[in-house]
C-alpha cells in the first residue's frame, strides 16, 4: 500500500474520530446514529494510522507530499 494521505488530512480525521467518541461518551448521540458514526470514527482512525485510504485510490486523490 502506497501512502496517499498527508499530515493535515490525518490530523483532521483523528480530531473527527475523537469528537465522535466524546459525543458518544457524553450521550449527545445515541442509537443507530451513534453506531454508524462510531464505525466511521474507527475507519478514520485506522486509515490515519496507516496513512492509506482505499477510497482515495478509487477517486485518484493523493494528499501526501511527494518526496524529491
What whole-number distance in Å separates Cα of residue 3 and Cα of residue 52? Answer: 5
| Domain membership flag for residue 27 | yes
- Please, which pLDDT band fits residue 1 given cuts at 50, 70 and 90? confident
The reply to whether 60 falls in a domain is no
In the block, residue with C-alpha cell 450521550? 27
In a domain, 18, yes or no: yes
Residue at 1 is within a domain: no
Is position 61 within any domain? no
The reply to whether 21 falls in a domain is yes
What is the total count of domains within the chain? 1
Range of the domain at 41: 7-53
| Separation between Cα atoms, residue 55 and residue 52, nearest integer Å | 9
14-35: per-residue pLDDT in tens? 999 999 999 999 999 999 999 9
Q: How confident is the model at residue 65 (pLDDT cuts 50, 70, 90)?
A: confident
32: in domain: yes
Dihedral angle computed from the Cα positions of residues 55, 56, 57 and 59, in that order, rounded to the nearest 10 degrees: 90
The C-alpha atoms of residue 9 and residue 37 are separated, in whole angstroms, by 18
**Is 62 part of any domain?**
no
8 Å CB contact between 63 and 6: yes
Amino acid at each position: 500500500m502506497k501512502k496517499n494521505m498527508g499530515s493535515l488530512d490525518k490530523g483532521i480525521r483523528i480530531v473527527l474520530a475523537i469528537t465522535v467518541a466524546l459525543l458518544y461518551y457524553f450521550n449527545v448521540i445515541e442509537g443507530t446514529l451513534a453506531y454508524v458514526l462510531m464505525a466511521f470514527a474507527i475507519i478514520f482512525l485506522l486509515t490515519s494510522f496507516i496513512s492509506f485510504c482505499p477510497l482515495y485510490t478509487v477517486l485518484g486523490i493523493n494528499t501526501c507530499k511527494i518526496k524529491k
